[in-house]
Chain A
Amino acid sequence: MATKFVIEGLKAQIEGKEILKGINLEMNGGEIHAIMGPNGTGKSTLASALMGHPKYEVTEGTVTLNGEDVLDMGVDERALAGMFLAMQYPSEIAGVTNSDFLRSAINARRGEGNEISLIKFIRQMESSMKGLEMNPEFAHRYLNEGFSGGEKKRNEILQMMMLDPKLVILDEIDSGLDIDALRIVANGVNEMKHEDRGFLIITHYQRLLNYITPDFVHVMMQGRIVKSGGPELAARLEQDGYDWIKEELGITDETVGQEQEA
């Protein structure tokens, strides 16, 4: 079945502060959507709310993946349904090796009695790591512990490649990457392009989009998508920044959740 991901009227709050103020977005398999916007406009909140982070409370709206109600699922169920979020700030977990973690994640999909053989797993992991130009020793390092910012991002992409999701959300996957790493990460994403897979790429820089061409570009401000367009919108943002959109829409402060308490 072709992947279809639909967000309708999504509102979410954290610690009683409403951050998402009604997000609408429809994505199909094979499409790459970019969500752009300055810092503090609610992009990561959107990603976290979609994945089910316990701190973010959805107050209104619906999210469906191939007709299934995502908001009704636990975090792990969302992942098993095909969602994947490459996080802006991945957790570090001491004592759990990268490979043990990944194998648990793969086996969670395959179910009891159908676990991946160790040798097959190792082969897959080695070849994916090679593609991402990761040192093989990272397989045995503790999960993200002591990884540099760039190493963490590569490790997120490694997980994406091995878990074969249907809907990929990349939150600031380009931050902290030098040009080489950016190219490697972008290659990883491009290799994963597939007619059954949708990508939602969150970034506040345009530069990642030089390597990954989006089909749709959305601009987020004040917890809403305020403008949508094609790749040309990203090019315009690269050239002119965000001010012209703010002017057009009469926005002075584009951030959300920073309002002075009364």
Chain B
Amino acid sequence: MTLQTILPVQAAQINEWAEARGEAAWLTERRLQALELAASLELPKPEKTKLDRWNLSDYGTFKAAVPVSSQSALPAAAQDLIEEGTQNLIVQHNSGVVFTSLSEELSAKGVIFTDLETAAREHEVLVKKYLGTAVKPSEHQVSALHHAAWNGGVFLYVPKNVELEVPLQAVFLSDDASASFAPHILVVADTNSRVTYVDNYVSAGLNGKVLHNGAVEVIALDGAKVQYATVHQFGKEVTDVSYRRALLSNDADIEWIVGEMNDGDTVADTATTLNGRGTHSDAKIIAIGSGAQKLNFTTRAVHFGKSSESDMFTRAVMREEAQAIINGITKIEHGATKANGQQTEKVLMLSPAARGDANPILLIDEDDVMAGHAASVGKVNPEQIYYLMSRGISKTDAERLIIYGFLAPIIAEIPLELLRTRLQRIVERKLGQ
């Protein structure tokens, strides 16, 4: 006997929201198809975590966003993450984007940087072609529901041969628990282009529970290079489910830099499919767990292309009663000769009640490859504490230095200085200092 799944989002809502946004019919049609699919799909099954008992139903309802005309009119929680006078910026406030800016220089080069709802209207061909190709609605119930219910979001298109030096930035703020909040980020880097994109996910003053069901799709065409940095710093009211996927064509390159700094339960899956030959994927993740957080972080590299290379590097600090499963999955498909996949997961445990499982998985279907993994779970080394204290540094400061040192190599990679210092502050807060 099969039970009819009761979904947290209904077709009538999808239609109503689409109408409120003045959405194109093709897009609404896709949403409804995704919703139908959701009913027949199961929940995702991240390694060693059962999502059945997670609260994944707080989608809220669409509330039209009120655009603001200047950066200084943005909510303080968003402004705090933005350098004054930032030129290329998108800010989503609850259910929709409220601020967009793109420099004339970039726009003259043909760069498109706008919310995804607008892009679906104004750049239909591109959006139609790529939306849902990296994070597919058919993956599982959560991705299907995302495709049914997403709002706001970002569409970034970098034309052929355009190389951008300055990072483009987005901020996603949830501060109304009744408003749905499900941004979708779609980045398309055309042939031989180069771009850095940085975003923050943040909540403030929430009066109830929120589900963030988010998706990121990066399409890097031949020879394109994409650097994608993201910091999630939701409060404990938010359950964060984020799927990030990159598809690489020949010689394309992605670098993921991810800061998992939420205070609530989180499932995050950052994956690259290395379709083309000579592709390269690099993922650097830092995470801090505190309180009674339940966390599941997966980094994944799937190699199809010959001579494709992947590196995955996760560092996590677990304190109090935080429970984390940290998976690294390297899959090398048959035919991906000369591929090289390496991964490292390191977990630093600060409390006996915390849990941190490092779970490296290598799935290799080709002989002519290199693959390796290293995983470690440990406490702060007492010899190191002793050494620092023998120079007059207090025990608290010694621990702090060592924990920061553990995370520093990844923090140093964040491409915006303001975000580096902000991240440092979040790290301090997460570590209870």
Contacts and interface: CB of A to CB of B under 8 A. Distances in A.
A104 B393 contact: yes
B406 A54 contact: no
A53 B397 contact: no
Contact of B405 (A52, A76, A78, A94): A94
Interface of chain B: mostly helix, strand, loop or mixed: helix
B426 interface: no
A95 B389 contact: no
Contacts of B407: 95
B126 interface: no
A163 interface: yes
Given A75-B386, A91-B384, A93-B387, A108 B404 contact: no
Nearest to A51: B390
Contact of A53 (B386, B393, B404): B386
A90 interface: yes
B408 to A, nearest CB: 4
A105 interface: yes
Interface in A81-122: 84-85, 87, 90-91, 93-96, 100-101, 104-105, 108-109
B391 to A, nearest CB: 4
A109 B402 contact: no
Contacts of A94: 405-406, 409
A143 B398 CA distance: 13
Contact of B389 (A76, A87, A96): A76
A176 interface: no
Interface in B392-423: 392-395, 397-398, 401-402, 404-409
Contact of A100 (B390, B401, B406): B401
A142 interface: yes
A28 interface: no
A98 to B, nearest CB: 12
B405 A96 contact: yes
B40 to A, nearest CB: 47
Category for how many chain B residues contact A: 20 to 34
A203 interface: no
A197 B384 CA distance: 27
A74 interface: yes
Interface string B357-397: 00000000000000000000000011110111111111101
A213 to B, nearest CB: 27
B390 A101 contact: no
Interface in A22-75: 51-54, 74-75
B406 A79 contact: no
Given A54-B382, A104-B388, A105-B388, 4 more contacts: A74-B389, A76-B392, A84-B391, A104-B393
27 contacts: A53-B386, A74-B395, A75-B386, A76-B389, A76-B395, A79-B390, A79-B391, A80-B392, A87-B390, A90-B387, A91-B383, A91-B384, A91-B386, A91-B387, A93-B405, A95-B404, A95-B405, A95-B408, A95-B409, A96-B402, A96-B404, A100-B401, A101-B388, A105-B391, A108-B391, A109-B392, A142-B405
Interface of B: 381-384, 386-395, 397-398, 401-402, 404-409
Interface of A: 51-54, 74-76, 78-80, 84-85, 87, 90-91, 93-96, 100-101, 104-105, 108-109, 142, 159, 163
